[in-house]
Homo-oligomer: A and B are copies of this chain.
Amino acid sequence: MSALIKGFPEAVTITEVGPRDGLQSIAQWVPTEAKIEMVNGLLAAGLRQFEVTSFVAPRAVPQMRDAAEVLAGIDRSFGAELTALVPNAKGAERAVEAGVDAMVVFMSASESHNQANVNCSRERSLEGFREIVRIAEAAGIEVKGAIATAFGCPFEGNVPDSAVADLAKAYADMGIRRITLGDTTGMATPPLVQSRCRTLAAEVPGSDVTLHFHNTRGVGLACVYAGLLEGTTRYESSVGGLGGCPFAPGATGNICTEDLIYLLDECGVQSGVDGEKVAEVARRMEDLLGYPLPGQVMHAGPRLALKPRDAVRSSSGSAA
């Protein structure tokens, strides 16, 4: 069956990043067992690509200090691809030892954000990745390349297409084909999605692009819409929209996995994932964390879960 919107692809692949991008900003400790249960629940829902954790310094991101234990606890029988973020060779070695299926290196499209985020220049970041690639090759696993601030930088403002294309080419030169465009601080817009996708298709034709949006300014799924119209088939999202800072509504994080699935389902785009089962995992995470997550479908329920007639007060005369 083809999609219901002309120009949309028939099927897409979702990478669940809640365990990493979602949880990393949460100060409250999430027990290792809960992290494992979350991933195993999402595997049961049909997700097959995960950014499970990151092998960064435990001091820098305490929530990720159980990276190896989380990986060890995940059910491998589904044949899913489990990846982890690695900032340097030491992290890459820990990731290999823990049994990741692929590792993700990351740098920013803007110099000042790279400095602020990883405390070195983009050039030095790229140099460091060569060693990570060697470690991965020796272990027989793939390296994926993430480009942070790919749609704008909180310090520099707009980022040109050329800066993103240059990094994608540098990744390609190292043999890294799978590129993720990260909307780090929620600056992606539909026209930027369009121009990034077209620029990469033209200038780095061998690359396989994944789009990673944040819903910081409410247009996360509108950006997905733009990406789908460009034929992009890979998206990253977070169960329940995990990752928004609970007490600062402005810090809304990744787009929400089950809301993304709802959009895809309704547009006839196959994802192979059961959105209701993802919503169940989201509700369990909400219970565990003790505050509302930004996901909408997890609270509203399925579109066709019909209500008994007395659910609406008669004669309110106002539900236009």
A218 to B317, Cβ gap below 8 A? no
Q: Could you tell me how many residues of chain A have their Cβ less than 8 Å away from some Cβ of chain B?
A: 85
A77 to B318, alpha carbons, bound, how many Å? 29
Q: Which residues, 182 to 207 on A, are CB-close (under 8 Å) to B?
A: 182, 184, 186-187, 189-192, 194
Q: Counting chain B CB atoms within 10 Å of each CB, which of A56, A157, A315 scores highest?
A: A315
Partner of A300, one of B180, B186, B300, B310: B186
| Copies, count | 2
The answer to whether A296 touches B217, judged by C-beta atoms less than 8 angstroms apart, is yes
Q: Cβ of A311 < 8 Å from any Cβ of B? A: yes
In chain B, what residue has the closest Cβ to A304? B157
Q: Mark A273-297, 1 if CB is under 8 A from B, else 0.
A: 0000000000000000000100111
Q: Shortest Cβ distance from A286 into chain B, in angstroms?
A: 9
Whether A218 contacts B318 by the Cβ 8 Å rule is no
Q: Is A299 in contact with chain B by the CB < 8 A criterion?
A: yes
Q: In the complex, are the beta carbons of B56 and A182 less than 8 A apart?
A: no
A222 interface residue per 8 A CB criterion: yes
CB distance from A186 to the nearest CB of B (A): 6
Q: Are B148 and A319 in contact (CB under 8 A)?
A: yes
Pair B219/A312 contact, Cβ less than 8 Å: no
* Among A33-41, A114-122, A161-169, the stretch in contact with B: A114-122
CB within 8 Å of B: which A147-166 residues? 148, 152, 154-158
A148 near B320 with CB under 8 A, answer yes
| Bound: A188/B80 CA distance, A | 33
Q: Which of A104, A117, A219, A319 counts the most chain B CB atoms within 10 A?
A: A319
Q: Which residues of A contact B (CB under 8 A)?
A: 4-5, 21, 24, 54, 56-57, 60-61, 64, 85, 87, 104, 106, 108, 112-113, 115-119, 146, 148, 152, 154-158, 180, 182, 184, 186-187, 189-192, 194, 215-219, 221-222, 224-226, 248-252, 256, 259, 262-263, 266-268, 292, 295-297, 299-301, 303-304, 306-312, 314-320
Given A87-B317, A148-B319, output 13 extra A-B contacts at Cβ < 8 Å. Answer: A57-B315, A117-B314, A155-B308, A155-B311, A180-B320, A189-B266, A218-B256, A218-B297, A222-B222, A222-B225, A225-B226, A250-B300, A251-B300
A251 to B300, CA, bound (A): 7
For A263, the chain B residues whose CB sits under 8 A away are 189-190, 218-219, 222
The residues of B that contact A218 with a CB separation of less than 8 Å are: 221, 256, 259, 262-263, 295-297
For the complex of A and B, 4 pairs with smallest distance between CB atoms: A250-B299, A218-B259, A218-B296, A106-B320
Cβ contact within 8 Å between B296 and A60: no
With A116-B314, A118-B315, A157-B306: A296-B148 Cβ-Cβ less than 8 Å = no
Contacts of A224 in B (CB 8 A): 222
Chain B residues with CB under 8 Å of A186's CB are 300
